[in-house]
Structure 1
Amino acid sequence: MTMSGTHTDHDETSAAGPDRPELQKAIQELVDSGFAGVQLRVNDQRGEWVGSAGVRKLGEAAKPPTNGRFRIGSNTKTFIATLVLQLVAEGTIGLDDPAADHLPEFELDGRITVRMLLQHTSGVFNFTGEFYEDGTIVPGIPWQGQERVDTLFHTYQPEELVRLALSKPARFEPGTDWSYSNTNYVLARLLIEKVTGCPLAEEMQRRILSPLGLSGTVVPDASPEIPEPHAHGYYTYQDAGQWKTVDVTRQNPSWVSAGGDMISTTQDLHTFISALMSGKLLPAPVLAEMRKPHPKLGYGLGLFVQDGTSPSPFPAPSCGVTVLTHNGGFAGYGALMYSTPDGGTTLTASLTTGDAKLDFAQVAEAFGQAQQRLVDEVFCGGQAGSDDSAEPAR
């Protein structure tokens, strides 16, 4: 058993910490809705609780390891934003510097600032594709269907992703609107590497992973490997009218780069978000900038601020308490990361998709309803939430 405040490296598979049957029931309901496996970690005034449900691998009985690694998708953005803001705090770059001053090779619109990259207000096209309000879809790199499966091990260079995005029309004038774009965070990665002179993985290790002891967290670049232990993730899709399921545990994550390529654990995500919120990674004035929500959907700099002042794309606690959050969706994997503003209560989770024959809308609905149940259980003492659904971050 893992007791509160301790972390073991062996292959935990049973619930640990105080008895919280309501949490075990909530993650079992997630599995019942179509996910292959779930691992959950909750840290609050009652201590630490960890548990898992479902299976580690299709066709086997073993549950997902509760200390397992998983692909965290867009939770990567919170790490990237934190690193950029550390450079801001040191005076290496200015939050309102034109990004083009540091990355002249891309001939970016001179009005795009570092802040706009981190807050998704640059207007730069999203290289994984744009979905417009009128239903129009403008594709980017292959990210779904057979075409995605065929490129699972293809290596994309970050500069290649940026140039693809910049070859497309901007979504809006810089600073005039908000729209989620992975391109912003690939530009942020290139900015980090330009001003530090070091690869992103080295800077992340030196500034965040090593100081916090995040031994389960990896910046994989183009490596398809995921360290053991881990649950398997699957991609189920339709091709020529036939349903297919592919094990996508091993895949080259360079297709999303710093928009969502990192690997972590629920323990490390808890340690990271708790340290960030409690002021251990950024000085108070810079953390305050990070937590200023854009009025459209409450996005600060690398995280969503759910304080009731703006709508949120993800389920917020029904009881109205403020939380800071990001989530991540990555072929085969989903990740949740929630924290109170003081870092005292956190919810971190990994979900793996299996062979359920669900379309994107059905997955989004199941994901959103499951988040609502978990968030209310942890942050509202189990008060019943709404059934509002949310689309997983692309």
Structure 2
Amino acid sequence: MAAAAAVVVGVLTLSALAPPTFAAGRPDTVQQGLNALVHDDGLPAALASVQDREGPPRDYTAGVGDVRTGSKVPVDGQVRIGSSTKTFTAVVVLQLVGEGKIDLDATIDTYLPNLVRGDGIDGSRITVRQLLQHTSGLPDYEDLVADDIRRHGYLDPRDILDIAFQRKAVFPPGKGWSYSNTNYVVAGLIVQKVTRRPFAEEVDRRVIQRIGLRHTYFPAPGDMTIRERHPHGYTRDAAGAPLRDVTELDPSVGWAAGQMISTNSDVNRFLTELLAGRLLPPAQLAQMRTTVPIEDTGAGYGLGIMSRPLSCGGVYWGHGGDIDGYETRGGVTDDGRAATVTVTSIPVDGAGTRRVEKVVDTALCR
């Protein structure tokens, strides 16, 4: 991939949709939030899709879809959803649990004997449940992968594990919580072992086709493109540094932990159908929604899904995702509200990500 440096000229402008308004004529608060992400945080573009309990979905955009040409942001364009893929992976695993093909409390070695080994790492002691809930203690591999390989090189899932197991275990199985993409790479390999089919094929058959997600797919090996209309994705090394276009990349480094492409409206539909019980039997959905605390954040992590508190009371359920060029945040409430927001560059710090999450809260609470 030729990722040439992009020079940002002029001021990023609002595009695509005219800002929706309230009856009183005030600008829509979701649009205001997206505008701020572009103008105040310097993000190239922001997109959102919001679905209330009743009425049609509303789509929003701000910024530009391509900083070189200044083109408009495609309304509900396709984006790389990164770790939002984990919820799809967890659904497939839990469907297989419901079919009696996987046992949540069986160990990795039950399905993949002797594959997971390293310093303090023993697949005979780590359960499938611990993989899905990030309580396995397996180390993460993401920051060990060089930028040029992460963006341009193909990595087989077992290559990924070889990289991850250069590190020692974070803690003994079940003795803590630590987010690790490695958990979901192992979970994807378990799916392949028990189904004897490619993991991507199982996601497509069991989730995407089942609920009719028309703009969601798992890229094939070697596919570095985004199929449909999409905003370009960018990265920058530090605040104020030039943006670099990283739209085309090989997402294999994410695999079952973060490889998928979708739209904000498709993600809303997926999560809505999931919580409505249309993808999992009641017992497995209840297991998925059984959470452990994520430190002192007020959030909880279930089996491939997170609960986050809302400023207006209650929680929403979803899973964020970061991959070079794109950050996605959002979720659905138990009473049927849904909102997903994507920005086309990962914010340079945690405060920037919290401002993206604030727009989700605004959309769900207004």
Name the TM-score, length of structure 2 as normaliser. 0.86
Q: Which of 314, 325, 333 does residue 340 from structure 1 map onto?
A: 333
Matched, 1:35 2:43: yes
Q: What pairs with 1:180-329 in structure 2 (closer than 5 Å)?
A: 180-222=179-221, 223-237=223-237, 243-297=241-295, 298-306=300-308, 316-329=309-322
Could you say what secondary structure the match of 2:142 adopts? Answer: coil
Superposed CA deviations along residues 305-350 of structure 1, whole A, max 9, x for unmatched, are 23xxxxxxxxx321222211211111110112211024x1000122
Give the drift of 1:141.
1.5
Could you say what secondary structure the match of 2:152 adopts? Answer: coil
Give the drift of 1:259.
1.4
Q: Confirm or deny: 8 A CA contact 2:150 2:251 kept in the other structure.
A: no
Matched, 1:54 2:63: yes
Structure 2 CA distance for aligned equivalents of residues 243 and 376 of structure 1: 29
User: Which residue identity lines up with residue 28 of structure 2 in the other structure?
Assistant: P
Matched, 1:25 2:32: yes
Matched, 1:96 2:95: no
Structure 2 CA distance for aligned equivalents of residues 35 and 117 of structure 1: 34
Give the drift of 1:23.
1.6
Match of 1:3 in 2: none
Q: Confirm or deny: 8 A CA contact 1:216 1:265 kept in the other structure.
A: yes
Structure 2 CA distance for aligned equivalents of residues 150 and 244 of structure 1: 21
| Cα separation, partners in 2 of 1:15 and 1:80, compared to 1, 3 Å | farther
% identical equivalent positions = 38
Q: Which runs of 5+ in 1 are unaligned?
A: 1-11, 130-139, 143-147, 307-315, 382-394
| Cα separation, partners in 2 of 1:227 and 1:377, compared to 1, 3 Å | same
Q: Confirm or deny: 8 A CA contact 1:226 1:263 kept in the other structure.
A: yes
Matched, 1:13 2:27: no
Structure 2 CA distance for aligned equivalents of residues 67 and 188 of structure 1: 30
- Output the aligned Cα RMSD: 2.1
Match of 2:7 in 1: none
Superposed CA deviations along residues 170-213 of structure 1, whole A, max 9, x for unmatched, are 00000110000000000011011111011111111111101111
Q: Which of 77, 82, 95 does residue 86 from structure 1 map onto?
A: 95
Give the drift of 1:244.
4.8
User: Which residue identity lines up with residue 93 of structure 1 in the other structure?
Assistant: I
Superposed CA deviations along residues 69-111 of structure 1, whole A, max 9, x for unmatched, are 1000110001100110000011111111111110114144312
Q: Confirm or deny: 8 A CA contact 2:134 2:177 kept in the other structure.
A: yes
Q: Which consecutive segments of 4 or more residues in structure 1 shift more than 6 A? A: none
Structure 2 CA distance for aligned equivalents of residues 23 and 56 of structure 1: 19
Match of 2:145 in 1: 141
Give the drift of 1:18.
7.9
User: Which residue identity lines up with residue 17 of structure 2 in the other structure?
Assistant: S
Give the drift of 1:220.
1.2
Q: Which runs of 5+ in 2 are unaligned?
A: 1-14, 117-121
Give the drift of 1:31.
0.9
Give the drift of 1:38.
1.0
Q: Confirm or deny: 8 A CA contact 1:37 1:63 kept in the other structure.
A: no
User: Which residue identity lines up with residue 347 of structure 1 in the other structure?
Assistant: A
Q: Which of 358, 369, 373 does residue 355 from structure 2 map onto?
A: 369
Structure 1 CA distance for aligned equivalents of residues 270 and 18 of structure 2: 22
Structure 2 CA distance for aligned equivalents of residues 279 and 17 of structure 1: 32
Q: Confirm or deny: 8 A CA contact 1:292 1:300 kept in the other structure.
A: yes
| Cα separation, partners in 2 of 1:271 and 1:92, compared to 1, 3 Å | same
Name the TM-score, length of structure 1 as normaliser. 0.80
User: Which residue identity lines up with residue 45 of structure 1 in the other structure?
Assistant: R
Q: After alignment, is 114-123 or 38-47 more displaced?
A: 38-47
Could you say what secondary structure the match of 1:50 adopts? Answer: strand
Q: Confirm or deny: 8 A CA contact 2:330 2:360 kept in the other structure.
A: no
Q: Which of 345, 363, 366 does residue 378 from structure 1 map onto?
A: 363
Give the drift of 1:274.
0.3
Q: Confirm or deny: 8 A CA contact 1:125 1:168 kept in the other structure.
A: yes
